Amino acid sequence: MMNHPAELDIRQLAVDELPLAEEIARQVWPSAYRDVITPEQIEYMLQWMYSLETMSREVTEQNIVYDLLSIDGVPVGFASYGPYENSTAKLHKLYILPEYQHRGLGTKLMRHVVDEAKKGNFKELILNVNKQNTQAVNAYIKFGFHKKRETVDDIGNGFVMDDYIMAYDLSV
């Protein structure tokens, strides 16, 4: 039996396919954030950020794109990104299923987002990352992001997002 290289595909999700992003997020978040925020905050944020209503509004009203990463037709990750302000784009989300992490897929997906932002003539790509999520912070630094500033945002229900705003220069 011959081994064939895995076929990697990145494509934009249609609004009716957005539940695929929620499904991946619900598999990733409990392990990704268990040492960073409480289970109650994880569930609160998942319900807030990944409701079909929220994601649909992002796509239809804010020009945010959800791109699905698949290997051999199996969804394994996604990124969401779009215009932010002036000549800046924002990466809102980038997640790879735990069993597919540490294979370079996050880097491939990030390169795709950078390429798309460059095509849109954006000069900078920013993202928020929890200050306690050192694995993600270090991965973004390795990719070429730098810490731009810190922010603490009240997201309701007694929860806050305590983040770094990180930036990537798209002119390079």
pLDDT in tens, 68-104: 999 999 999 999 999 999 999 999 999 999 999 999 9
Whether the pLDDT of residue 33 is over 60: the answer is yes
Sheet holding 146-156, edge to edge: 8-12, 65-71, 74-85, 88-96, 124-130, 159-169, 146-156
Whether the pLDDT of residue 131 is over 60: the answer is yes
Per-residue pLDDT band at 148 (split at 50, 70, 90): very high
Whether the pLDDT of residue 3 is over 90: the answer is no
Q: What does the H/E/C string look like for the chain? A: CCCCCCCEEEEECCHHHCHHHHHHHHHHHHHHHCCCCCHHHHHHHHHHHCCHHHHHHHHHHHCCEEEEEEECCEEEEEEEEEEEECCEEEEEEEEECHHHCCCCHHHHHHHHHHHHHHHCCCCEEEEEEECCCHHHHHHHHHHCCEEEEEEEEEEECCEEEEEEEEEEECCC
Whether the pLDDT of residue 1 is over 60: the answer is no
Going by their DSSP bridges, the two strands 65-71 and 146-156 should be labelled as unpaired
pLDDT at 45: 93
Per-residue pLDDT band at 34 (split at 50, 70, 90): confident
Per-residue pLDDT band at 111 (split at 50, 70, 90): very high
Going by their DSSP bridges, the two strands 74-85 and 159-169 should be labelled as unpaired
Q: What is the mean pLDDT of residues 140-159?
A: 95
Per-residue pLDDT band at 4 (split at 50, 70, 90): low
